[in-house]
Amino acid sequence: MTQDTIGIIGAGIAGLSCANTLQQAGLNPIIFDKGRGLGGRLATRRAATGLQFDHGAQYATARSEEFEKVIAAATHSGQVARWDTGESPRYVGVPGMNGLAKFLAKGLEIHQNTQISAVRDTADGCDVTAGDQTWHFKTLAITVPAPQAITLLGEQHALSTKLSEVELLPCLTLMAAFSPQASIPFTARRDPDDALSWIALDSSKPQRSTQQCWVAHANPQWSAKHLEADPETIAQLMLPLLCERLGVDAATATHAVAHRWRYALVSKPLGSPFLRNADGTLYLGGDWCIDARIEAAWTSGNAIALDILQNR
């Protein structure tokens, strides 16, 4: 299949931001994502018992005027709300973290459940392969984490050397619930030096479950140490740590499930908003270009779109 249009791999915030800006300029990009849902690391796990947990990104902050406008528009549409933790403004998707992704995705052509296995440069663009299907694009933006982009392009690709300089740290997450607790010690706590560097009462976010749901993230050192353990073992290791910090008995746990984020938080970013080949047929972007934040992903995707538009 030949597409005289723009292809985007990844429906995380970077890919959606890129597509949204292109769409506003009158173009119709096509997005591919291997996932069932939108948003990538903006993810919500729903359990059969009615519990729900944002197990990836916890909240967004807006430092730039441009991203403040996006947050304001998403808030106005009812897909983002302010989470009051007594800190400077923190915004969350509603009813789940990927509300912001859904806001950006409105009207876009997105092929979900489509895992791209390879990207090949051609004389006039790129070939993108998923299963037995291949698409040709004159312009392609890849917005997956840098190590996964190397897998798509191959280590010998001219841009892979730059990509390999980027480093992302892992994060192990615990989603837990307990029999109703008499007292709640805090709603959100960050302590980079603790094995559990982030603990939050996820259900204190707006429009969440009425049952108490906790999310804990292990710090990068602890996560790296236990990265290859199976999820059941990770949950068994993290649960007592969480119970100790909340002052609850592990026997009262009604739910304890772990998730492994292999590429969670960029520790060594690219240092510019995107990477591009000389003729502008291939772009690479994502939070890993700038910082481990939702806003950085949005900024990178938007910058790719603006560069594509400028060079058309």
Ligand X SMILES: Cc1cc2nc3c(=O)[nH]c(=O)nc-3n(C[C@H](O)[C@H](O)[C@H](O)COP(=O)(O)OP(=O)(O)OC[C@H]3O[C@@H](n4cnc5c(N)ncnc54)[C@H](O)[C@@H]3O)c2cc1C
Please state the closest distance from residue 148 (CB atom) to ligand X, in A. Answer: 5
Please list, residue by residue across 229-266, b when 16 or more beta carbons sit within 10 angstroms of its beta carbon and e when fewer do.
eeeeebbebbbebbbebbebeeeebebbbbbbbebbbb
- Out of 9, 71, 169, 174, the only residue in the binding site for ligand X (CB under 6 A) is 9
Q: Is 31 in the site for ligand X (CB under 6 A)?
A: no
Return d(Cα 131, Cα 236) in angstroms, integer: 37
Binding range to ligand X, per CB under 6 A, among 9-17, 74-82, 132-140, 179-187: 9-17
- Number of amino acids touching ligand X (CB under 6 A): 39
Binding range to ligand X, per CB under 6 A, among 5-13, 121-129, 187-195, 232-240: 5-13
102-121 residues in contact with ligand X (CB under 6 A) are 115-116
Q: Is 222 in the site for ligand X (CB under 6 A)?
A: no
Return d(Cα 202, Cα 217) in angstroms, integer: 12
Please state the closest distance from residue 282 (CB atom) to ligand X, in A. Answer: 15
Question: What are φ and ψ of residue 9, in 5° steps?
Answer: -100, 120
Q: Are 140 and 128 in contact (CB under 8 A)?
A: yes
x/- site string to ligand X, residues 257 to 276, per CB under 6 A? ----x--xx-----------
Binding range to ligand X, per CB under 6 A, among 58-66, 249-257, 276-284, 302-310: 58-66
Q: Is 293 in the site for ligand X (CB under 6 A)?
A: yes
Question: What are φ and ψ of residue 241, in 5° steps?
Answer: -65, -40
Please list, residue by residue across 105-137, b when 16 or more beta carbons sit within 10 angstroms of its beta carbon and e when fewer do.
beebebbeebebeebebeeebbbbebeeeebbb
Q: Is 175 in the site for ligand X (CB under 6 A)?
A: no
Q: Is 287 in the site for ligand X (CB under 6 A)?
A: yes
Give CA 212 to chain center in angstroms. Answer: 24
Please state the closest distance from residue 14 (CB atom) to ligand X, in A. Answer: 3
- Out of 7, 12, 95, 99, the only residue in the binding site for ligand X (CB under 6 A) is 12
Q: Are 155 and 23 in contact (CB under 8 A)?
A: no
Q: Are 61 and 91 in contact (CB under 8 A)?
A: yes
Question: Which residues make up the interface to ligand X (CB under 6 A)?
Answer: 9-15, 32-35, 40-42, 56-60, 115-116, 143-145, 148, 152, 171, 173, 217, 261, 264-265, 286-287, 292-294, 296-297
